[in-house]
Amino acid sequence: MSFEYWYMFPLAVVIAVLANSSGFSGGVLFQPIYNLFLNIPIHNAIATGIATETVGMTSGALRYIYYKMVDLPIAFTMIMLTIPGIVMGNHALIVINGDLLKLVLGFIILFIASMQFINALRKSFGTRDSVPVEDIYPFMWIPTFGGFFSAATGTGVCEISQPLLEKGLNLETRKANATAIMIEATADWIITILNIHAGFIMWEIWIFSGTGVIVGGQIGPYISRFLPVRLIKIIFSVCIILIGLFYIYKGYEWLTKGRV
């Protein structure tokens, strides 16, 4: 085994702690590292990032289940609604330019994150301990939407599910984070299996990043229990704003490529 990418282990621990404590898709932070700094082709960067995120989110989800912070009935319902979007997104990745999809998603999650940041400043948080499954009915299209973008771009489920759970369904913030991570972890397993079949994952990098996020996935949920809710929301919002800006930049770069 080559130790060329050993530094991905400590970096992955930090990313997983941030993602699992605040409820966003950590895999998207690996994409610019893989694509821009390691010069890995975008399809391999996305697939390896999702494969890394899969084990990290699973680690975090198991810890949150142990803490009894996941609303399991609503999580399972949203997982079922996410699967059709994953199938469509996996196909879209083949027929639609990925940077165009990132441009669209960038504006969507930038808007969501900005609203979440404003809610954090106003101290407007979810308050319910659980959500009846029937409350998701008016929002049934949203998890499908998140699944589509997760399969096509490498992010979407957590970034869309967490605000839906907290603001749309008024689930308490920490439980919304934990439940969104559970949904993301399950969705990621489906996407990763498809990527394994396609041969996109770079295992020589994953062995270090995957090990790191497993460790960070255990630390993040533990830390989140002691962080103020307002701070958790700010961390979530700032990270998603950065992701949104990065996606908009990639989309803009693609749009202007043919004009220079």
Give the Cβ contact number of residue 203 at 10 Å: 11
Distance between CA atoms of residues 217 and 144, nearest Å: 25
What pLDDT is attached to residue 1? 64
Enter the tokens of residue 86. Answer: 């994953």
Q: How far apart are the first and last CA of the chain?
A: 43
Nearest residue to 242 via CA among 47, 18, 43, 90: 18
**CA diameter of the chain:** 54
What are 82's two structure tokens? 């996410």
Q: What is the pLDDT of residue 30?
A: 83
Start-end of H helices in the chain: 8-22, 27-32, 42-66, 72-95, 98-122, 141-153, 157-163, 173-198, 203-224, 229-257
Per-residue pLDDT of the chain (260 residues), as tens digits, is 678 899 999 999 999 998 888 887 777 778 778 877 888 887 788 889 889 999 999 999 999 999 999 999 999 999 999 999 998 988 887 777 777 888 888 898 888 888 888 888 888 888 999 999 999 999 999 999 999 988 888 788 888 999 999 999 999 999 999 999 999 999 999 989 988 887 889 999 999 999 999 999 999 999 998 989 889 888 888 888 888 888 888 888 888 875 54
Backbone angles phi, psi at 128, to 5 degrees: -85, 145
Distance CA 178, CA 69 (A): 6
128 strand-pairing partners = 171
pLDDT on residue 260? 46
pLDDT number for residue 58: 95
Indicate yes or no: pTM above 0.85.
yes
Backbone angles phi, psi at 28, to 5 degrees: -65, -25
The pLDDT of residue 18: 87
Predicted pLDDT of residue 197: 84
Q: How many CB atoms lie within 10 A of CB 210?
A: 22
pLDDT value, residue 131: 93
Contact assessment for residue 116 and residue 163, using Cβ atoms and an 8 Å cutoff? yes
Can you tell me the distance from the alpha carbon of 153 to that of 42, in angstroms, rounded to the nearest whole number? 10
Task: Produce one character per residue of 128-137: b if its CB has 16 or more CB atoms within 10 Å, e if not.
Answer: beebeeeebe
